[in-house]
Amino acid sequence: MMQQAAPEFAIRVKDLVVGFGRQVVIDHLSLDVRRGEILGLVGASGGGKTVLMRTIIGLIPRQSGEIEVMGAAIGRSEDRSTQRAAGRWGILFQQGALFSSLSVRQNIQFPLRENLTLSQTLMDEIAVAKLEMVGLKPEDGDKFPSELSGGMTKRVALARALALDPAIVFLDEPTSGLDPIAAGEFDALIKTLQETLGLTVFMVTHDLASMYTECDRVAALADGKIVAIGPMHELLQSEHPWVRAYFHGKRSQMLQPKAS
Amino acid sequence: MATTPQLTATASGDVLELRPAGSWTAANVTTLEALSGTVAAQLDRSKALRLDMAGVRELDTLGAWLLEKMSRRATSAGRRAEIVGVADNYAGLIQEVHHVNRHNPAPVPALNPVVANLNEIGRAAVGAREDVAAFLEMLGSLFLALVGVLRRPRSLRLTSLVYQLYRVGWQAIPIMALITFLIGAIIAQQGFFHFRKFGADSYVVDMVGILVLRELGVLIVAIMVAGRSGSAYTAELGSMKMREEIDALSTMGLDPIEVLILPRIIALVVALPILSFIGSMAALYGGGLVAQLYGGMGPAIYIARLHDAVSVTSFEVGIIKAPFMALAIGIVACSEGLRVKGSAESLGKQTTTSVVKSIFLVIVLDGLFAIFFASIGM
């Protein structure tokens, strides 16, 4: 959506090593995310998907390796200059991580209020606009996070992640805990927003349906490395044993279109 | 890459032509708001609006919304508005903002300030009644749980009880002893300083002894326990409530009162008298130390005077109050914990309420006991 000067890759990860104590979770991992694509990251539960995402956004310190987001090197997440350089990102945490003492409207306005100087009227209008873009009603703005259902929480969290129109959004299992209809709607929503806003989406997911319908590319994380990356149909051809087990297991077979 | 946003307005005949240019993005919002403000008057005067977007280099939701707002301002007054020159990659965004903010919910009318105040007072009154009801309810269910435990002694959570005793009793000893020691020392010092003026030095011991044993020992310790352990109970139970742990217990057929609250309150009821005793001793020791260092009264005289001044009754009066105060602190702390709602703010609020209420109750109880003991002549 931006112009020529912008780098080709939204996220570049080179030779990343992350571990806790003696346990190495991410082992010399390299990954490039192209601008404007939706990249799905799959991996075993506890295999380091969330760790990788949290390392990219600077919440977990790394042992070695380089991370670039929108052409800017990433330091620690609290470092505001890093964030600014990264062109601001939006993050959808697994549990939403909405501020429980603020209303939905205030939650969405929070990044606006903190980062920009603008009138309250405009802020209210933007909050309503974002709410409607994620498929909620303006009236929902007065609710508090504890009064929201799981699906609504995810939508509000997405609206907050999008408040500053970031170039990149990170989604941590956006459809987990949603019923298939709500999950399908959420997928469609992310796709629509990605198209209208020109977002780059980095999505940790277990939802095979999301991968088929939504992701431009899917990366498989196993043994701390990216073992396969590419569009869904390429991944299905992969020879790596874990990837085969993941996509050709019983549950996956049930979901696959007959053609594949 | 980012360029300063601009907005040029040219009126040709009845048509106002607006040409936004540059980066219409959130980063420039201050400029953008000012820019759209400047054309508002012209917008209202003109018969039709033509929005030429060809110059826009960057656009996001915020910029798109500001442009949409201009065209909406024109159309709402029944005039014509057209948007031209939209780059392909922004067409979707322009479409999207065209649909938002269409039906604003009617703003909730503000209440008359007098009515609002009365409303507050009424709610507070009802709230006070609910507080009493909650206290009594907790007392009742605690009693029931206790009866249940007495009938089936094995259902008492012994491990939990011992652990809570360790936390609210054993671990509290150093701080309680230190604070009561200092209080005893301060009272003695003040006593010597003022009583010396009319040669009543020796009565300082009477004052320290009676005050500490009857009132201060237990009162100070109870207030400290309310702040130290009562607040911890409220915060623990509150966060368990928030994370649905208490609901999980109930669905497993267990009574949260019996599993979580009974051991905590029994621990408090056991620990507070012991702490009061330790506290009173520490205060007397502090008084004695000051008597020697500041008042020039040797330990032997101090102890002999103390022996004359206080009786077992003074000690009894103090220590009898302790379990009741512990019960009040425990019940308030636990019932406030269970009243925590979903938000972090509510957890903080209930913890504050718990400490304030239990300290208040402790002091009220102390007053009631004073009246009671006076009337039975103790």
Asked if the structure places residue A13 within a domain, the reply is: no
A126 in reach of chain B (CB within 8 A): yes
From chain B, the residues in CB contact with A119 under 8 A are 33
- State phi, psi for B374 to the nearest 5 degrees: -65, -40
Q: What is the dihedral of CA B205, B206, B212, B215, to 10 degrees?
A: -160
Give the SS3 label for residue B11: strand
CA dist., res. B228 & res. A82, Å (int):
41
Give the pLDDT of residue B2.
64
What pLDDT is attached to residue A259? 45
The answer to whether B21 contacts chain A (CB < 8 Å) is no
Taking 70 as the threshold, does the pLDDT of residue B355 lie above it?
A: yes
Average pLDDT on B284-297 reads: 93
Q: Is A146 on the interface with B (CB under 8 A)?
A: yes
Whether residue A3 and residue B58 make contact (CB cut-off 8 A), yes or no, is: yes
User: In this model, does residue A3 exceed pLDDT 50?
Assistant: no
Is A82 a residue whose pLDDT tops 70? no
Residue A154 placed within a domain: yes
Instruction: Return contacts of B278-281, CB within 8 angstroms, 24+ apart.
Output: B278/B173, B278/B176, B278/B177, B278/B180, B279/B176, B279/B177, B279/B179, B279/B180, B279/B217, B279/B218, B279/B220, B279/B221, B280/B180, B280/B212, B280/B213, B280/B217, B280/B218, B280/B315, B280/B318
B65 exposure class (CB count in 10 Å sphere: 0-12, 13-18, 19+) = buried
B101·A125 Cβ contact <8 A:
yes
Q: Where in the sequence is the domain holding A118, given as residue range(s)? A: 93-165
Residue B61 pLDDT > 60? yes
What does the alpha-carbon distance between residue A155 and residue A160 come to, in Å, rounded to a whole number?
Answer: 9
Residue B221's pLDDT is what?
96
Mean pLDDT, chain A, rounded, equals 79
- Which distant-in-sequence residues (6+ apart) come within 8 Å of A45 by Cβ? A206
Look at residue A212 in the predicted model and tell me its pLDDT.
81
- Residue-wise pLDDT for A100-110, tens only, equals 878 888 888 88
| Residue A119 located in a structural domain | yes
- The answer to whether residue A137 is domain-embedded is yes
| Predicted pLDDT at B95 | 77
Question: Where is B136: in which H helix or E strand?
Answer: helix B113-151
Q: Does residue A64 belong to any structural domain of this protein?
A: no
Check whether A6 has a pLDDT greater than 60.
no
Chain A positions touching B66 (Cβ under 8 A) are: 122
pLDDT(B78) > 90: no
Size of interface A-B (CB pairs under 8 A): 83
List, as one string, the DSSP characters of B276-321: HHHHHHHHHHHHHHHHHHTS---HHHHHHHHHHH--HHHHHHHHHH
So what's the pLDDT on residue A193?
77
Q: Is residue A14 part of a domain?
A: no
Give contacts of A 147-206 with B, CB under 8 A.
Answer: 147, 162, 164-165, 195-198
Is B111 strand, coil or helix? coil
Q: CA-CA distance, B283 to B271, in Å (whole number)?
A: 18
Which range, of B48-57, B118-127, B363-372, averages the lowest pLDDT? B48-57
Query: Residue A164 and residue B95: Cβ atoms within 8 Å?
Result: no
Confidence of residue A81 (pLDDT cuts 50, 70, 90): low
Per-residue confidence at A84, pLDDT binned at 50, 70, 90?
low
Where residue B104 falls among pLDDT bands split at 50, 70, 90?
low
Of the candidates A117, A165, A196, which has its C-beta nearest B92's C-beta? A196
Say how many domains are in chain A. 1
- Is A120 domain-assigned? yes
Domain B6-99 has CATH 3.30.750.24: yes
Burial state string for A187-201 with b = 16 or more CB within 10 A and e = fewer than 16: bebbbebbebbbbbb
Angle (CA) B218-B224-B225 rounded to 5° is 85
Distance of CA A17 to the CA centre of its chain: 21
Amino acid at A236: L
HSE, CB side, 13 Å, CA atoms: give it for residue B198: 1
Q: Mean pLDDT lowest for which of A8-12, B177-181, B313-317?
A: A8-12
Burial grade of A56 (CB within 10 A; 0-12, 13-18, 19 or more): buried
What are the φ and ψ backbone dihedral angles of A212, each rounded to 5 degrees? Answer: -65, -45
Write out pLDDT tens, residues B3-47: 788 777 777 777 778 788 888 877 778 888 888 788 777 777 777
For position B105, what pLDDT does the model report? 63
Percent of chain B with pLDDT over 90: 54
Side chain identity at residue B60, one-letter code: D
* Predicted TM-score of the model (pTM): 0.69
Does the pLDDT at position A77 exceed 60? no
B237-256 tens-digit pLDDT: 999 998 888 888 888 878 88
More confident residue, B174 or B105: B174
Residue ranges of chain B that CATH labels 3.30.750.24: 6-99
Continuous segment of H or E residues that includes residue B183: helix B173-195
